[in-house]
Structure 1
């Protein structure tokens, strides 16, 4: 059985995410997806619009995904070894970089192949987030405040 692994934040799930998962599943028998936990997203200097618990459930619900697991650190080699993956799927924006040339050597020593997929042109979570911020004035803080207000309103309607 060929086990494949890929990781991502999967914030504001879009067609690019779906394309990656669909293409990856086509090259393995079992696809395991690491979903980046909120703390690691923050460590990378970003903030997910969608909470981790929701993001991992969205990924789990995708028919191409056999299992979704939390990604607590950036060590993809350790994750592949732990999960028994023989293929790592990543976006081609990393291809040819010094960092990934080194990764390729490390992965090859462990018998794990890296497959690069082209990014879906014209789409990214960052672009969607920026568009929402401009059009709707959204910020992470605003979305959290709106969610809290919704919960309070829901509680009040249930108590009243």
Structure 2
């Protein structure tokens, strides 16, 4: 499994990992999308669902990849599922929302990105309250390590890296 993570600025996330590979073209700009759902009552949720928490109809999407979030809590798992890096640091993050948004917080759970400057390939250190940004990873786990057919699942996604 590769631990290549993208690096980027604090303003936007670059969808090219450190090996120079570009992610799947899910967004209109050719970069992968970190998609949340927006509903008729104004709420936003991640992951997206067809119907909102209060039964509102889904009316659109919000791309979270260019937003910052704050770490709500984090943990490091040393007993991971097959094909997942070990140890695996995970964080629950709460995304910044648009001014005037009064719905529930938009939260996500994800891996913490590998620090490209760490000689041992360790993840970034995070603490509660740290600002983070999503970064695209082509492979969050080794596709051939599980019991499911590798072609039946998407193996890419987003990790979180601290913002300075």
Q: TM-score of the superposition, structure 2-length normalised?
A: 0.26
Normalized against structure 1, the TM-score is what? 0.27
Structure whose CA Rg is larger:
1
